[in-house]
Amino acid sequence: MFFPIFLGIFAISGITLIILTLAKRFELRKKRATFILKAISIGDERAKELQHKMLNLYAEGKDRIVFFVKKELPLKLKKFVGIVVSYLKARWESYFGNIRNSHLIRKEEGISEFFKNISEIEKGNGEIHDLGFIAEDSITPEPPKKERRKRTYKRRKKDDILV
């Protein structure tokens, strides 16, 4: 089944080689280029031009992709993350409200004694070292410090030094 196809390809390539050989012999004898060899030369030049254009396109595309990945993509991602964070923050506040400065914290009966005293200290009504808001049980007395004996130095006599 495939044998006739292979035989046809083999015959075409053989005939092409014979034609090219005869064209080259004719060119060398007459000192004039033949149509077949001119067509091959023109095709070769066009193939080289096309290859050169493709290499330029590849280099420019590669540069653009590298620039996009290294420079533009981080900036675009940073902008996108900022937009997402602000959107999520807005959604969070729409569901739960702004917890800071909310009316629950400002209620006098809802705040513990600790927070009341802290606010008095911040207003200037109390002192920072005021321990009135700490339970008396949690304060442990400091252990007494041991006094160190002062060291005395005795001057040696020449006789005491061994030579």
For residues 81 and 163, give the distance between their C-alpha atoms in angstroms, rounded to a whole number. 82
User: Using one digit for the tens of pLDDT, what is the confidence trace for 58-80?
Assistant: 999 999 999 999 999 999 999 99
For the chain, how many residues are written? Answer: 163
User: Using one digit for the tens of pLDDT, what is the confidence trace for 132-157?
Assistant: 555 555 556 677 777 777 777 776 66
Which sequence spans correspond to the domains of the chain? 7-96
H runs (alpha helix) in 97-112: 103-106
For residues 25 and 19, give the distance between their C-alpha atoms in angstroms, rounded to a whole number. 10
